[in-house]
Amino acid sequence: MKVGLFAIGLDTYWPQFDGLLDNLNHYHAQIQDRIAAMGAELVDVGMVDNPEKAQQAADIFKREDVEVIFLFISTYALSSTVLPVVQKAKVPVVMLNIQPVAQLNYDKFNALGDKGKMTGLWLEHCQSCSLPELACVFNRADIDYHVVSGYLQEDYVWQEITDWVDAAKVAAGMRNNRVGILGHYYNGMLDVYSDLTQQSATFGNHFEILEMCELFELRQAVTKDEISAKVAQFHQKFNVAAECEQSEIERAAQTSVALDKLIAKHKLGSMAYYYEGKGEYENIVTSVIAGNTLLTGNNIPIAGEMEIKNVQAMKIMDLFGAGGSFSEFYLSDYKDDVVFLGHDGPAHFAIAQGEVGLVPLPVYHGK
């Protein structure tokens, strides 16, 4: 995922104020180093201080296909120098209204005596000057922009920038994600019915509609060695309850192997599923939880009840590195001020305290 960065200034200033450009470039370099360390590929076009450089920067950002652009307001700059840069890319713009210091040393400033030097130092610290002009122009040009205000050494500033980089990674991850749809909706749950076209239009992801017969064929082809290896993985990853029967564990392991192959075959990054059937199909759908939990913990979130909106949310949480399980409200404890959530479905290892428990469920309730 690529992130764009550029600083803005006014080339008229450089010959007028000795050292101003060097100082502004120094601040820009600090921002460059911090963003480059956030795990994204940085496309830095440097100081843009005239319309010609603006067009060049616009071409670079468009060619490099950046996901978000950080605009460092290093000093006052003309909006005509800025608009062309961001117009062409058509991605969110985060204006960095970041001062070099939290507070200007007024005594030192006033002691300079030289009005020219004082003006140069003032320009070095007047990042906010361009902000209203740029906001006005971006509003009129329908540019999606946001603002981070603060100073270089402020933790809040870097947390905000980190959040934007993380959000851009998630947006890119969602756009490149292939979502599997296995089975059909849970009949009667009106809130889960989703408009796949709207989902694709919003997130940019692809939906792959799958048939249970394909999973059945993959399951039939699973070998005993593959089942044994998967059972060993269960014992490695789960706290397997003593009351789990070996035959049930092996049944779940066979289904888990088939699920892995289904995911790999269609290059899925997440999946929503539900099915009601008899015979072998019933055997499959009542043995998917363990395998789906392994997939969920391996960055391939799985949601039951054909909860497509839910699995999209789970994928977002997973891309943020925060985990995300298919769950619903259970019980409110009004004495201890606690709300319980849970589900007899796939869990996420990232939000578990200790090992995830694998327990038998005699009745697959409601299904």
3-state secondary structure 233-284: HHHHHEEECCCCCHHHHHHHHHHHHHHHHHHHHHCCCEEEEECCCCCHHHHH
The rounded distance, in Å, linking the Cα atoms of 210 and 182 is 5
- Distances from the Cα of 187 to the Cαs of 37, 72, 193, 274, in angstroms? 48, 52, 10, 10
Inter-residue contact 153 to 34 (CB < 8 Å)? no
pLDDT tens-digit readout, 150-199: 999 999 999 999 999 999 999 999 999 999 999 999 889 899 999 999 99
pLDDT(140) > 60: yes
Question: Which structure tokens are listed for 107?
Answer: 């005594």
pLDDT(328) > 60: yes
What percentage of residues in the chain have a pLDDT greater than 70? 99
Higher per-residue pLDDT: 326 or 364:
326
pLDDT(367) > 60: no
Q: Of 155, 17, 142, 134, whose CA–CA distance to 73 is shortest? A: 134
pLDDT tens-digit readout, 4-46: 999 999 999 999 999 999 999 999 999 999 999 999 999 999 9
The rounded distance, in Å, linking the Cα atoms of 302 and 182 is 10
Inter-residue contact 93 to 69 (CB < 8 Å)? yes
Q: Residue range 273-297: average pLDDT?
A: 92
Q: What is the pLDDT of residue 126?
A: 92
The rounded distance, in Å, linking the Cα atoms of 149 and 16 is 28
The predicted model scores a pTM of: 0.88
Q: Of 95, 90, 182, 103, whose CA–CA distance to 143 is shortest? A: 90
Q: Given pLDDT bands bounded at 50, 70 and 90, which one contains residue 335?
A: very high
Q: Given pLDDT bands bounded at 50, 70 and 90, which one contains residue 366?
A: low
The rounded distance, in Å, linking the Cα atoms of 65 and 88 is 11
The rounded distance, in Å, linking the Cα atoms of 46 and 4 is 10
Q: Given pLDDT bands bounded at 50, 70 and 90, which one contains residue 362?
A: confident
- Distances from the Cα of 363 to the Cαs of 72, 258, 264, in angstroms? 59, 23, 31
Q: Given pLDDT bands bounded at 50, 70 and 90, which one contains residue 298?
A: very high
Question: Which structure tokens are listed for 284?
Answer: 């499959």
The rounded distance, in Å, linking the Cα atoms of 70 and 148 is 10
What are the two backbone dihedrals, phi and then psi, of residue 291, each rounded to the nearest 5 degrees? -65, -40
Give the HSE-up count for residue 194: Cα atoms under 13 Å, Cβ half-sphere: 22
pLDDT(50) > 60: yes
Inter-residue contact 309 to 200 (CB < 8 Å)? no
pLDDT(225) > 60: yes
Q: Given pLDDT bands bounded at 50, 70 and 90, which one contains residue 365?
A: low
The rounded distance, in Å, linking the Cα atoms of 112 and 207 is 65
Burial 11-50 (b: 16+ CB within 10 A, else e): bebbeebeebbebbeebbeebbeebeebebebbbbebbbb
The rounded distance, in Å, linking the Cα atoms of 102 and 151 is 6
Q: Of 270, 70, 30, whose CA–CA distance to 163 is shortest? A: 70
Average pLDDT, the chain: 94
pLDDT(352) > 90: no
Q: Residue range 79-83: average pLDDT?
A: 95
The rounded distance, in Å, linking the Cα atoms of 28 and 42 is 13
